[in-house]
Amino acid sequence: MIIKSVLKTGVVAIASFITCSHVSATESMSASTLDVVSESTQQSAISHNPLTLGAHNDSQANSHSGDNLWGYSSKGREVFDVVTSEGNIIKAVDVNGTAYSGDIILGNTRALKNFGLKIVQSDEDEALIQQNRRHEIHGTVIQPTSGAKWPNGIVPYVLSSNLTTAGRNAANYGINHWNNNTNIQFVPRTNQSDYILIQDSTGCGSNVGRVGGMQTVNLASGCGNRGGVHELGHAIGFWHEHTRPDRDNYVSINWNNIPSANQHNFNKQTGSAGRGSYDFYSIMHYRLNEWGINGSQTIVPQVSGVDTSRVGYGSTLTSGDISAANYLYPGSGGGGGGGQTDTPIQNGYSTTLNINSGQWRYFTFQVSSNANLQSISAQTSGGTGDADVFIRLGQRPTGQSGSACSSAQSGNTETCTVNNPQPGTYYIGVLSWTGQGYTTPVRNANFSFSTTTNSNGGGRGNTGGSTSFANISGAAGSWTNHEIQLPSGMSSLNVTMSGGTGDGDLYVRRASLPTQQSFDCRSWNSNNNENCSVANPAAGTWYVSVRGYSSFSGANINVEWSP
């Protein structure tokens, strides 16, 4: 489903809970081409924005006990109810005259107490945004709004001169990532009345949606690439995934592990209707130990198969994030990934890849029902950076989980092969890997795609096949899942895992993700050397999964099936 949760059918913005493409020209934009606001201009703009009057003092916020990059403690501060125009309640903490809910800037505390929060229902409420733009004399405040959408998905921005190098890098990463994967387009401001000012602060924060005039996105040096994508997600209209009204069906909140002064950050946003599946890996999801006392777990998944090592740690949009953004902004902006058709390819296709760090390039290959293919294979080589290659049947790969094959070696030399491919559309994704301080983009890498045909000329399902998954890692208690498609007529399925360090346990199951209690085969030795064999496996989808008994890394899996 396309959107995780939007406040109500017909709401065009905001209060939304919102899971690639060829590199666009905007990715090469340097900071020097941007409209960098001066400090005097910045302060003047802030003083005239009704929703940022009385903005918090950075030095005070930085030293306040219990604060962190992603929100404010209520210790020694007032917590109050913000009443929306629909009669719902949002818990907020007052920080020197500005109301926050986690890292979300709700607006001026006095205005919110006096007028509540207007939820924009249609483009007819554009008059409220026009009102917000006005510079009222004597600091007069007007009714704040949880903003409208950005017209045509175009979001003008300014990078403040006070940004640190890390903050500027995070801003540019976030801008490029949204531009290249969705219909949203962040563009340098020229003379637009409504725009975002991306500035340094003591934490990470943003308004939700367009509020009118200048509005701020705060990116401290520690926010990182995830913070850049996350805060810009708020700016276009997304709330946090874990505050969905239906979240209790998917997670429980361990209130005993959360200091009382921070519990307001976990309140549900009531009055909205969930649309689409809950996305544990959304860029808008908290970490599972966010605000936890001594790092203890605060959010507990209530469904099986969740890779806990990924929740709240990614720096890229999930397919659900992308679909949700394109639902709110259909066909606007002319952006890269989400609105662009994946590149269809055939046997013998080749091209040169240039992909910015953390970005994807996607291709598709159609296997017909009467094809007699022995294998399909994608390869990369040459150039600089670190390209990883994934192939998945039926949808874009987002990593190893669910992919029919993956190749994630160091550097650009990768080969990803699917043997005995089933009918349907295969998506080939190439990721410019970033992590552990490595941020070099893929440049001038060779990409090629090829197929091989069964020499016996017979129909499908009469031959065996194999696939592999390389360099698998995970934390203790985490799950890494892989999907394979078995043809009919197979007499054996054999899965082996080896290499690396730590202790990962191997699970195999047909049709559903395995759990510790439900599986067709399990191997749990005291290292990464595991083997699972299934006799006469039924045709269809099988899952090969690894659960970390302890943390593990560098493991390799080989899967073979025979008639």
Q: Is residue 242 marked as binding?
A: no
Which are the catalytic amino acids?
231
Residue 153, CB-side half-sphere exposure with 13 Å CA sphere = 21
**56 annotated binding-site participant:** no
DSSP string, 229-270: HHHHHHHHTB--GGG-TTGGGTEEE-GGGS-GGGGGGG----
Report helix angle 224-236 to 165-181, nearest 10: 50
Report whether 285 belongs to an annotated binding site. no
- What is the C-alpha to C-alpha distance for residues 397 and 409, in angstroms, rounded to an integer? 17
Number of residues that this document lists for the chain:
563
Query: Within 10 Å of residue 368's Cβ, how many Cβ atoms?
Result: 9
For residue 156 the two structure tokens come to 């003008």
Those residues whose C-beta lies under 8 Å from the C-beta of residue 357, and which sit 6 or more positions away, are 173, 385, 432, 433, 434, 439, 440, 441
Distance CA 263, CA 230 (A): 21
| Helical (H) or strand (E) element with 322 | helix 319-328
Residue in the block written with tokens 């899967």:
559
Which tokens hold the place of 141? 């405040």
Single-letter code of the amino acid located at 279: D
191 φ, ψ (degrees, to nearest 5): -135, 20
Cα torsion for 12, 14, 20, 25, to the nearest 10°?
Answer: 90
Tokens of 347: 């046997």
- Which residues fall in the annotated binding site for Zn(2+)? 230, 234, 240
- Which residues fall in the annotated binding site? 230, 234, 240
